[in-house]
Amino acid sequence: MNMSRRVFVESMLASGVATSLPSFAPPTTLRPPPPVSTALTINGRRHQLELDPRVTLLDLLREELDLTGTKKGCDHGQCGACTVLVNGRRINACLALAVAHDGDAVTTIEGLAEGEALHPVQAAFLEHDALQCGYCTPGQICSAVALLEEAAAGAVSAATPDVAQLAPVSLTDEEIRERMSGNLCRCGAYPNIVAAVRTASRRRSS
């Protein structure tokens, strides 16, 4: 006997044999995780905070502490606009959970100068006009500050000729470009950025 699909389905429904669609439970309201007590020293000032554990260090600085010098660029750790110093080491603040740095010392672009006296790297950036729109500049400067310390401590890079040396690394232009490669400048101010870092390095070692 030939039976159309429609007749077949109707007969199954009539006999109660048809498979019912799976039932779904109504959506439940997800509760946010409880706040976590976190202590951070930011630009020399201690902050005792109750933080959502999902908050990034970048969002804490910008949205809660109004330290907007640190910029949000890609928000994926690819452009370096959010670079800050944590215990003297440079990190991408957009990839760091604030609670993971409990007890740490954070320095942002706002904390580099001493009163009216600019940090030597800031002064070198101005001297060499190492910026155009300026959006990436805070991250560039923070990265350069850490770079000088890393090279002075003998940390090597992919551009270091002798990676076995146990001495401060000479910051050639190639070294500077390699070490600053994590900080992107969409305006293309790279030659002046390299010149600024070179000048700051020479003044530091003189």
pLDDT at residue 138 is higher than 80:
yes
CA angle 190-196-198, nearest 5°? Answer: 105
Predicted local distance difference test score (pLDDT) of residue 33? 92
The fold for domain 120-205 equals DNA polymerase; domain 1 (1.10.150)
Q: Which two tokens stand for residue 104?
A: 């740490």
Other Cβ atoms less than 10 A from the Cβ of 197: the count is: 30
Q: Return the DSSP state at 108.
A: -
What is the pLDDT of the chain when averaged over all its residues?
Answer: 92
36-111: which CATH number, 3.40.50.280, 3.10.20.30, 3.40.50.2300, 1.10.3720.10? 3.10.20.30
Q: Tell me whether strands 89-92 and 83-86 are parallel, antiparallel or unpaired.
A: antiparallel
Share of the chain above pLDDT 70, in %: 89
Dump pLDDT digits (tens) for 2-59. 667 776 667 766 666 545 555 566 677 788 899 999 999 999 999 999 999 999 999 9
Which three-class secondary structure state does DSSP give residue 9? Answer: helix
Amino acid, single-letter form, for residue 82 = C
Q: Which helix (H) or strand (E) holds 118?
A: none
Query: Residue ranges per domain, the chain?
Result: 36-111, 120-205
Amino acid, single-letter form, for residue 121 = V
Rounded average pLDDT over 176-194: 98
Listed in order, strand segments (DSSP E) in the chain are: 36-42, 45-51, 83-86, 89-92, 105-107
Greater confidence (33 vs 205) lies with 33
pLDDT at residue 67 is higher than 90:
yes
